[in-house]
A and B are shown apart, each in its own frame.
Chain A
Amino acid sequence: MLKYIVKRLLMLIPVLIGVSIIVFVLLRVFAADPASVVLGEHADAAAMESWRDSQGLNDPIIKQYWDFVTGAVQGDFGESYYTQTSVFTEIMSRFPATIELAIAAIIIASVLGIVIGVITAVKKNTIVDNLGMFVSLIGISVPIFWLGVMLQILFGKTLGWLPIQGASDADILFDKVTGSYFLDSLISGDISNFTNVLWHMILPAFTLAFYTMAIVSRMTRSSMLDTLNQDYIRTARAKGLAEGRVIRHHALRNALMPIVTVIGLQFGSLLGGAVLTETVYGWPGMGKYLVECVQKSDFPVVQSAVLLIAVIFVVLNLLVDLLYAFLDPRIKYGRKEA
């Protein structure tokens, strides 16, 4: 098992080299000149040329890439062109907020998605099935920005139940220790800070979860239908097992493999940043920031953030594969088949 994990982690290296080369070249070929963005409307051509020189942008692209890679290996990802702050600081001041929103969303999506999927599979071709699939069809079809604004109007404005902007009330202050609003509010020791953050998370987490929930519920339904037709389910029922036990222990566990794969991939996407949800709710995460940096041709940030996202995907895929072994004892990693 350990050998397998190490092998998979070593595969990160060619993935990262490939991703970094692609991003590096694409940015330099297609992105606009960052000098005019950084130096503003009043900069003349000489100032822009001097700035490009100082940033090494006039060097051959191979040298630029080598400088980036050698820096990155030593943990130096450079400075943001636009804010002149270290890229590590810029990303880490936003990434924890993205992680906590993604975790909240994936929990909501997984629980609701699996519950809806199982119920619709068990109650196949009934009104419950149709209703569940109608909800998931809406989840797949509805634009997130529209859903976000509608939920804001309903729960924020009309009903006045939930806050609609940011990760906490604007005038609540607590020290940023981990960068995660959830954890930092707990660390502050004031329960009202924690509940305030939790309350702010409800709408964005639900909005972000809606699409994933729909995917998970459809996948669960289809996988469950397949499993429920298997002989061993019939055997279990014939043995006289309670229907609930048949569904939970025999059908769902066997149906979980594709569901876990989908949840893993969706979680990876959510961790890469949820641009629309973050924009609508003013959530201080990484997705919106990354898009802004692409628009501003802030090369060092984009390169580093994309590498981070690549690492997340590879590691999450590994975790999903490891989960297979946990879910299905027949799967063993690192052993040759007999």
Chain B
Amino acid sequence: MKKVLCGVVAAMMAVSLMAGCGGSNDSSNKNDSSSQNALSSKNDSSSSSSEKVTSLIYGSGADPRGLDTALVDDNESAKATMQIYECLLKYKDDSTEVEPCLAESWDISEDGLTYTFKLRQGVKFHDGTDFNAEAVKFNVDRQTVNKTDDMPYADFVFGTVSECKVIDDYTVAIVLKQKNTAFLANMAMCFGAPIVSPTACKENGGSLMKNPVGTGPYKFVSWSKDDRVVLEKFEDYWGEKGKCDQIIIKTIPDASAKINALTTGEVDIIDGIDTTMVEQLNADTNVTVDLTDGMNINYMAYNTTRLDKETRVALSQSVNVDELVNSLYDGYASKATTILPTFLPGYSEDVAQVAYDADAAKKTLADKGVTEVKVITYSNDRPYNTATGKTLAEAVIGYFDKVGVKADVSTFDWTTYKDKIIAGDYDICFYGWNGDNGDPDNFLNLLSDDDPSMNVARFNDDKFNEYITTGIATAAGDERNAIYAEAEQYVADEAAWLPISHQQNITACRTNIKGFKYHPTATVYLAKVEKE
């Protein structure tokens, strides 16, 4: 009996060794051959085994939360969903300017309250359902009149909508309660705005978290939790079809392992790369590193209910932001001269923040008797602050120390930190923002928000609020941009925040990958990406 068992085990090991050795010497060959295995094992009847299948493999830092864009708010989910779904509008490839997508054109009424969209005809969802005005109404109603508590972006995208009217089969009118110039930008967002198949949504009890059905260039095949999401090219797509046959979003949580997976060719593209790894990747001839400006702001906020303007200005004067950014971010973040990133409408290079002047700061703080401040920060890194909140706070209190102010610093994990922010027991906190839709209001209205978890400076200023109210109701253009530039200067003079940096997005791909671009909204659109 023992001999028989030994024989079986030995035979299995021999077979596996031979097969393993044969398949693992060249990772690119391995991928190609296994791609064919994949389709031949899955689609025996439909695909010819002689066709070469191209699989684009994207290494993502975390598993998606879910695949229903009305119910999620994480970028990992968007990496899969934005290949499956489409919105009425879409962003241009390298900016947040919008262009037609499922809507071919649109009109805005004179009062700025009614947006009429002419829809594209002949578009089908992956389940065969027709895309039409009723489908759009279903989607808008789903996140307005039928909204549930668990839709994180429903209010942001559709909060100003009063009703959605079907004019005819391919015309739909969305009526707003109040003017909202950012509404068009919202219609291209990766959360809330994508159009889902009404049929699939109803069949799945109102949630497409596991069975996404959209109109996009790729359709859903499978999701193996904490492993991969597999998509395949939608052959009946209305526009230019996807370049690769399959897209695989592979979950690789460890940063070093993600780099190793790219350099060994196990994945084709990765994002969210730590700045310390860039040099190593640049040295690899099989890899191309790409840096793009991030639509974000990393800032220090003063609790304006506890620190007066003079103290805030003096504390801002004490921090050498240039030096801070250069030392902490290895050149992969730019110093923030305004709250708005430079490529957003409304950005003005004329805005002047409080200038570094340690002597003046020391004098003012001594005169006012400010010797101690209570600081809270977060322990982890954030997309807008790769150096971690803790490191940033330690650097800043070094500057405070030089002007005679001691800091009592408390550090928390991110979830607890947000609770501490809401509790409000701090003089200074560190925070940041990733833009959602590319509209200036999306950044500046943080300082007029009633919610202390958004307006962490608890800034409540009638004049500033007026800027925000006017800005959101003014049509896009020079007049609107001037309003935001003025608002920026006003809040800079009030020193509610000390803007610190705009983090760059660092991505890398194998050199045989062509056409990959990381969008400023931190989303990826992979249909145009080719694998040679």
Contacts and interface: CB of A to CB of B under 8 A. Distances in A.
Interface stretch (A6-14, A186-194, A326-334): A186-194
Given A152-B260, A170-B266, A198-B16, A83 B149 contact: no
A192 B23 CA distance: 9
Contacts of B368: none
Given A50-B149, A282-B250, A171 B55 contact: yes
B418 to A, nearest CB: 5
A331 to B, nearest CB: 26
B209 A93 contact: no
A280 to B, nearest CB: 5
A51 B149 CA distance: 6
Contacts, number: 194
Residue of A169, A172, A280 ringed by the most chain B CB atoms within 10 A:
A169
Interface string A138-174: 0000000100110011001100111111110111111
Interface in B185-230: 207, 209-210, 221-222, 224-228, 230
B257 A149 contact: yes
A144 B55 CA distance: 32
B264 A173 contact: no
A171 B257 contact: no
B34 A171 contact: yes
B182 interface: no
Interface in B14-43: 15-16, 19-20, 23-27, 30-31, 34-35, 37-39, 41-42
B153 interface: yes
A42 B153 contact: yes
Interface string B413-453: 10110110000000000000000000000000000001101
A50 B148 CA distance: 10
B31 A169 contact: yes
A195 B19 contact: yes
Contacts of B254: 145, 149, 279-280, 282
B264 A156 contact: yes
A198 B18 CA distance: 12
A169 B30 contact: yes
B68 to A, nearest CB: 9
Contacts of B24: 160-163, 199
Interface residues of A, number: 67
Nearest to B434: A41
17 contacts: A36-B453, A47-B155, A149-B254, A160-B25, A171-B34, A171-B38, A172-B34, A173-B39, A176-B222, A192-B37, A196-B20, A199-B23, A280-B256, A282-B261, A285-B226, A289-B225, A297-B415
Given A172-B41, A288-B226, 9 more contacts: A41-B73, A42-B156, A43-B152, A84-B209, A149-B256, A149-B257, A167-B227, A192-B19, A295-B413
Interface of B: 15-16, 19-20, 23-27, 30-31, 34-35, 37-39, 41-42, 53, 55, 57, 59, 62, 65-66, 71, 73, 149-150, 152-153, 155-156, 207, 209-210, 221-222, 224-228, 230, 246, 248, 250-254, 256-257, 260-261, 263-264, 266-267, 413, 415-416, 418-419, 450-451, 453-454
